[in-house]
Amino acid sequence: MIDFYLEDDNRKHWAEIQRLANLNTPEADKILTKYTLEGTRLSNSLGIFRNVEPADTQTITIKQLGQDVVLKRGDKVFVSFVYASKDASVFPDPLEIKLDRPTELYITHGEGQHQCLGKDINIIQNTYMLKTLAKLRNFRRAPGDDGRLKFIPKPGGIKLYMNADWSKFTPYPTSMFPPFYIFFPTIRVPHDTNQSIAMRVQFDGPIVS
Ligand code: HEM
């Protein structure tokens, strides 16, 4: 999500996110939550496997990218949250950040009886991460490859995340910077001190409000 908002095309949202972060009111935080949900919707690389168990019949027909697919009991399907999150029938103008979409439409934490137990806390956590980073002056990518989130794009919008030197896959993007970077923002940490950093960022200090 942070990588998404640091993309050139999405930087236009950053000034507003910064303004809301510095307002520091419950109302502004609610809007930041919408930015979090939208950023996650458009940048996620998630999905889930489901077993096909039609209730009353042996087969079930579903639509896949506009085409009918017949599934039978025992089949396994991969439900792509990447596609579901950009389904224009659910999210009109799917590639636009819109802050008035109903919260219950967002799918990245699953749905139904096994929906993510950490959903609410995770959304709060992500909102506060966005808010905290938006309070940093001139928050930006480090120059060059350092500032790129390391992943290999795969079919269907899935990203295979990698560590800093591209030597191994990681299930999730790893941290953007070590904690002490906050206290020494001008110091560049050498590559070999922390192989888990997937993307380096820089800033010029906290905004003191
Ligand atoms: C980016 C963060 C996270 C994402 C995208 C995420 C997503 C998911 C998804 C898609 C599922 C499966 C839902 C389903 O089967 O319908 C799930 C299950 C689960 N998640 Fe998360 N999750 C996240 C963070 C967390 C956190 C922080 C916690 C705990 C504090 C957590 C706890 C769980 C548990 C316990 C389940 C299993 C629920 C069950 O099977 O009944 N998750 N999560």
CB of 129 closer than 6 angstroms to any ligand 1 atom: no
Note the pLDDT tens digit of each residue in 119-155: 999 999 999 999 999 998 888 888 888 888 889 999 9
Backbone angles phi, psi at 13, to 5 degrees: -80, -20
Tokens 């008035």 correspond to 100
* Tens place of pLDDT per residue across the chain (209 aa): 999 999 999 999 999 999 999 999 999 999 999 999 999 999 999 999 999 998 888 899 998 888 999 999 999 999 999 999 999 999 999 999 999 999 999 999 999 889 999 999 999 999 999 999 999 888 888 888 888 888 999 999 999 998 877 888 888 887 665 444 444 444 444 444 444 567 778 787 777 55
Residue 125 alpha carbon to ligand 1 centre in Å = 14
Please give the structure tokens belonging to residue 10.
């999405």
CB of 116 closer than 6 angstroms to any ligand 1 atom: yes
Q: Which of 41, 116, 159, 174 to mutate to test the pocket of ligand 1 (most atoms within 8 A of CB)?
A: 116
- Determine the straight-line distance between the first and last CA of the chain, rounded to whole angstroms: 25
Please give the structure tokens belonging to residue 203.
């800033």
